[in-house]
Amino acid sequence: MNNSTLIKQGLKRRYRKEQAFRVLGLTSVCIALLFLVILLLDISSKALPAFIQTQIELTVDLSSEQLGLNKDSSNDEIRQADFRAVIRAALLKRFPAVTNRQDKRSLYSLVSTGAEYQLLDLVLADKSLLNQTSTFMLVADDDVDALIKGAIDRRLPESDRRVKNQKLNWIEALESDGAVHSTFNWQFLTSGDSREPELAGIKGALMGSFYTLFMTLLMSFPVAVASAIYLEEFAPKNRLIDLIEININNLAAVPSIVYGLLGLAVFINLFGMPRSAPVVGAVVLSLMTLPTIIIASRSAIKAVPPSLREAALGVGASKMQTVFHHVLPAALPGMLTGTIIGMAQALGETAPLLMIGMVAFIVDIPQSIIDPATVLPIQVYLWADSPERGFLEKTSAAILVLLVFLIVMNALAIYLRKKFEKKW
Amino acid sequence: MNELMMASPMARAKSELTGNQVNVSLAATFEHTVGTPCCDNPKIQTKNVDVFYAENHAIQDVSLDMGANEVTALIGPSGCGKSTYLRCLNRMNDSIDICKVSGDFILDGEDIYAKSQDPVLLRARVGMVFQKPNPFPKSIYDNVAYGLRIHGLTQNKAELDDMVEDSLRKAGLFEEVKDRLNAAGTSLSGGQQQRLCIARTIAIQPEVILMDEPASALDPIATAKTEELIAELKENFTIVIVTHSMQQAARVSQRTAYFHMGRLIEVGETDQIFTNPQHELTEKYITGRFG
């Protein structure tokens, strides 16, 4: 028996192993993809209703007898006017049979409490609406919304149904009039949080996340890159530097809530920085992402071929010029990869932000980095925790927004990386 | 210096223990450098050079002069210390922490390793071309212009353009790349890249050019072009070239120094080294019995 027959005998077994490994790999990729698809389908199917708003068309009398306003009224006077009363009057006019006090209250709850502010904004924008009767699309209450979307089953016996027969009859009467409309829910994208599910929006948390991450990037990227360059290119080899290096690696493994405690104790209590503010969140998240970016940046710098450094030194570039003209551009793609990982981690982080008060219920949309704010993952947490039926779809929608935010952020970073990666 | 003296016999003993036949014969026959380490018109003079890589005594007591406007070739088997020695001449070993250099290095009467000597200025005066072509990942133009820019050698764009063209011409590359100066330096062929690296080095007009096996990664045609170029460059520059190829040393150099196991065995006129080597080891090496 010669070598080639021996090899031939073994070949079959070798190819079988290769085949088995390929199948194994492909299977695991498929399983992972399957779960990802299930997750995304589940979230998006639950989230879609949140982007549809139910509105009730009502004919509202804005005459001066009703509101005490005319075309010359100042904005302040308009703000003090009783819009709730005119909406209630409009509802009573539509259902004149309702006389009982309790039934009236039930009737009034067809329309969201936010409707009066909606009406106020419309009037402030266009004063010519005053002194006449017009039809308005007013936001429906979350129960009506749920019923229209089918989240509440009309065929259930009344005792098991959240919306009772009386209310159901009114809604069906409105439906038969064609006065119930479903439109795209801009309010979800343009307003802040609310106790009422039909009024709650994601913009507050979105802006909070944006400010927090922007500041995190601004603080952590330069510091991390500078540290990585110093440690890799300039630092002397001694015990102190070794200790620093070991501790940077250790910091990457510290549970994130510990950073939150640090933020609370040091930045808020000791330095007196504002509570619930994106800037404090950003400082805490920067501390958390620094080790990740430093470690990735250092390995990127290490991977720059020594021949490039020698080429620069050989034409008489100083150490600093060598690093900034040649090493840094070559290492930048790797540094950006580390930054993407760090920032994605920061975007999804909840625990440390709980400790510094970003879990507060905040209705206003933050306008700056020191305004109280919350962030997307915490908004998800808050809504998931709320008992109202309407928050269920909001929770999924918030997750969707978080994912979109993440994708946009990563796409931007990958675009930048590709741009710098351009190998000559 | 004391430390050096103590480490030296130790290192030798160690190399003898682990060494091969050649090694033993070296210990038996080496007494001092044969030939003429000094020359009439030296550009760089080195005396009693010792280099350590941690425990490893890489260069042992080497004294050698390199004449102005001539090509000095350093030859020898792999690991003989010729590249290490070359890199000492413009302090490229500074950045290696474990590398310790001692001895006298004199460039035009100035001590290369003096405290007052700035390595950045030194490297502008003593340029270097490396074994593997290593153009910057920039355009051809920027590769050549880089040194001029960082040293501030030109006043305006027109002057810079002229200098870049001039350097590329001197490196024999201009005709091949004049239409694509903005193309990537790394898009050129290996031989062109090496000539680009030479253009980059001569752009800042150093006094000495160190070449570390500049043709070892090139095909014969590119090698021939590089050698022609070296012959032309010696009119204006002092060149020290490390090479594996004895034919190359014979073709381009005026003086040749033969290194072996960190020792300078023999040095002399190239013709004499290749036709009438004085030392047994040199003879064995150039006749191809080892290497």
DSSP string, A251-306: HTTS-HHHHHHHIIIIIIIIT-PPTT-HHHHHHHHHHHHHHHHHHHHHHHHHTS-H
- State the nearest Cα–Cα gap between A324 and chain B, in angstroms: 12
Q: How far is CA B48 from CA A18, A214, B72, B102, in A?
A: 60, 60, 18, 8
- State the nearest Cα–Cα gap between A338 and chain B, in angstroms: 22
Q: How far is CA A11 from CA A5, A7, A38, in A?
A: 10, 6, 40
Mean pLDDT to the nearest integer, A139-145: 91
Mean pLDDT to the nearest integer, B55-82: 89
Is residue A102 over pLDDT 50?
A: yes
pLDDT in tens, B208-262: 999 998 888 788 888 888 898 898 888 889 999 999 888 899 999 999 999 988 8
pLDDT in tens, A335-391: 998 999 999 999 999 999 999 989 889 899 999 999 999 999 999 999 999 988 889
ipTM score of the complex?
A: 0.81
Contact of B92 with chain A, judged by CB distance below 8 Å, is answered with: yes
Averaged pLDDT score across all residues of chain A: 91
Which pLDDT does position B26 carry in this prediction?
52
Closest Cα partner for B161 from B149, B176, B173? B149
Side chain identity at A70, as an amino acid letter?
A: N
Is residue B7 over pLDDT 50?
A: no
Which carries the bigger pLDDT value, residue B288 or residue A241? A241
Residue A414: Cβ-neighbour burial (10 angstroms; 0-12, 13-18, 19+):
middle
- State the nearest Cα–Cα gap between A251 and chain B, in angstroms: 28
Mean pLDDT to the nearest integer, A249-267: 92
Which carries the bigger pLDDT value, residue A72 or residue B224? B224
Spell out the alpha helix ranges (H) of A95-238. Answer: 101-108, 115-125, 142-148, 165-177, 186-190, 203-229
Four-CA torsion B264, B269, B275, B279, nearest 10 degrees: -30
Mean pLDDT to the nearest integer, A144-162: 88
Which pLDDT does position B24 carry in this prediction?
43
Q: How far is CA B64 from CA B108, B267, B274, in A?
A: 14, 8, 18
Is residue B15 over pLDDT 80?
A: no
Is residue B1 over pLDDT 70?
A: no
Which pLDDT does position A202 carry in this prediction?
93
User: Pairing mode, if any, of strands B126-129 and B42-53?
Assistant: unpaired
Query: For residues A63 and A89, what is the distance between their CA atoms, to the nearest angstrom?
Result: 12
Is residue B4 over pLDDT 60?
A: no
Sign of CA dihedral A116, A121, A124, A128: negative
Sign of CA dihedral B287, B288, B290, B291: positive
Q: What is the token pair recorded at A317?
A: 């570039």
Domain spanning A203-422 has what CATH number? Answer: 1.10.3720.10
Is residue A422 over pLDDT 70?
A: no
Mean pLDDT to the nearest integer, B143-169: 91
Which pLDDT does position B5 carry in this prediction?
40
Mean pLDDT to the nearest integer, A169-187: 91
Contact of A46 with chain B, judged by CB distance below 8 Å, is answered with: no
Strand, helix or coil for residue A19: helix
Q: CB within 8 A of A25, min separation 6: which ones? A: none
pLDDT tier for residue B13 given thresholds of 50, 70 and 90: very low
pLDDT tier for residue A162 given thresholds of 50, 70 and 90: confident
Mean pLDDT to the nearest integer, B110-131: 90
HEC per residue, chain B: CHHHHHHHHHHHHHHHHHCCHHHHHHHHHCCCCEECCCCCCEEEEEEEEEEEECCEEEEEEEEEEEECCCEEEEECCCCCCHHHHHHHCCCHHHHCCCEEEEEEEEECCEECCCCCCCHHHHHHHEEEECCCCCCCCCEHHHHHHHHHHHHCCCCCHHHHHHHHHHHHHHCCCHHHHHHHCCCEHHHCCHHHHHHHHHHHHHHCCCCEEEEECCCCCCCHHHHHHHHHHHHHHCCCCEEEEECCCHHHHHHHCCEEEEEECCEEEEEEEHHHHHHCCCCHHHHHHHCCCCC
Query: For residues A153 and B237, what is the distance between their CA atoms, to the nearest angstrom?
Result: 93
Residue positions counted in chain B: 291
Is residue B94 over pLDDT 50?
A: yes
Mean pLDDT to the nearest integer, A139-165: 89
Which percentage of chain A shows pLDDT scores above 90? 59
Nearest Cβ partner of A307 from B95, B132, B201? B132
pTM to 2 decimals?
0.81
Phi, psi at residue A422, to the nearest 5°? -45, 100
pLDDT in tens, A203-218: 999 999 999 999 999 9
- State the nearest Cα–Cα gap between A292 and chain B, in angstroms: 28
Which pLDDT does position A301 carry in this prediction?
95
pLDDT in tens, A388-408: 888 999 999 999 999 999 999
Contact of A320 with chain B, judged by CB distance below 8 Å, is answered with: no
pLDDT in tens, B250-269: 999 999 999 988 889 899 99
pLDDT tier for residue B28 given thresholds of 50, 70 and 90: very low
Sign of CA dihedral B242, B247, B250, B253: negative
Report the largest interatomic distance among the alpha carbons of chain B, rounded to a whole angstrom: 62
Is residue A265 over pLDDT 50?
A: yes
Mean pLDDT to the nearest integer, A119-129: 87
pLDDT tier for residue A70 given thresholds of 50, 70 and 90: confident
Q: Which B positions 179-238 lie with beta carbon below 8 A of chain A?
A: 184-187, 197, 200-201, 204
Contact of A314 with chain B, judged by CB distance below 8 Å, is answered with: yes
Mean pLDDT to the nearest integer, A323-331: 92
Q: How far is CA A171 from CA A42, A58, A59, A177, A360, in A?
A: 30, 13, 16, 10, 35
B128: closest chain A residue by CA: A314
Which pLDDT does position A325 carry in this prediction?
92
Is residue B122 over pLDDT 50?
A: yes
Four-CA torsion B159, B165, B170, B173, nearest 10 degrees: 160
Nearest Cβ partner of B130 from A237, A310, A325? A310
Query: For residues B123 and B178, what is the distance between their CA atoms, to the nearest angstrom?
Result: 28
pLDDT tier for residue B17 given thresholds of 50, 70 and 90: very low
Q: What is the token pair recorded at B142?
A: 């920027």
Mean pLDDT to the nearest integer, B67-90: 90
* CATH code 3.40.190.120 for B37-136+205-286: no
Mean pLDDT to the nearest integer, A88-92: 91
Interface touch B123/A321, C-beta < 8 Å: no
Residues of A in contact with B92 (CB under 8 A): 310, 313-314
Q: Which residues of A319-329 are buried (b: 16+ CB within 10 A; e: fewer)?
A: bebbbebbbbb
| Domain span(s) for CATH 1.10.3720.10 in chain A | 203-422
Closest Cα partner for A191 from A406, A363, A321, A346? A363
Interface touch B204/A315, C-beta < 8 Å: yes
Is residue A37 over pLDDT 60?
A: yes
Nearest Cβ partner of A314 from B127, B151, B185? B127
Q: What is the token pair recorded at A110?
A: 């067809």
